[in-house]
Structure formats: C-alpha cells, structure tokens
Amino acid sequence: MDDNEIHARISALVAEEHRLRSGSPSPEEHTRLSELEVALDQCWDLLRQRRARRDAGEDPDDAQARPVGEVEGYRQ
C-alpha cells in the first residue's frame, strides 16, 4: 500500500467508526468498533513507518503492517 491508499483506508475506517458511534451501538457494533480501533492503529503505524523510512533515505515500500499485539502494545 502506498501513502494515498493508507490515507484512503484510514478515511474509510474513520467514516465507519463515526457512523457506528452516531447511534446507540449494539453489542456487535461495539465489537466492530474495537476492530476498527485496532485497524486504525495499524494503518497509522504503517504510515509512520513509511515516513520514517523515507526520511532515512530508505524505500518506504519495505514497511510492513505490524502484528496487532505489537502495535497495541506500544506505550503512549
């Protein structure tokens, strides 16, 4: 995925998240919201990796999505 594709994916995920949060989410929708949060974290991480590689003079296409456990385990 290139940066534009990642941004498009983020936009789609955010739109779905907003739609689900606009009402009173069902238990299934709460589950989906959790999935969306994880997917967004992975997309943002991938975008940061690509930017870091580009800034370091490396090929951003070598960046890969990290496993959920790794991305979700980052300290803020």
Cα–Cα nearest to 6, from 36, 38, 48, 55: 48
pLDDT, tens digit (0-9, with 9 covering 90-100), for 1-40: 899 999 999 999 999 999 999 989 899 999 999 999 999 9
SS3 state of residue 11: helix
pLDDT, tens digit (0-9, with 9 covering 90-100), for 34-69: 999 999 999 999 999 999 999 999 999 999 999 998
Helical segments of the chain, H only:
3-21, 27-55, 68-72
Count of domains observed in the chain: 1
Judge whether 61 and 49 are in contact, CB under 8 Å.
no
Domain that holds residue 28: 3-72
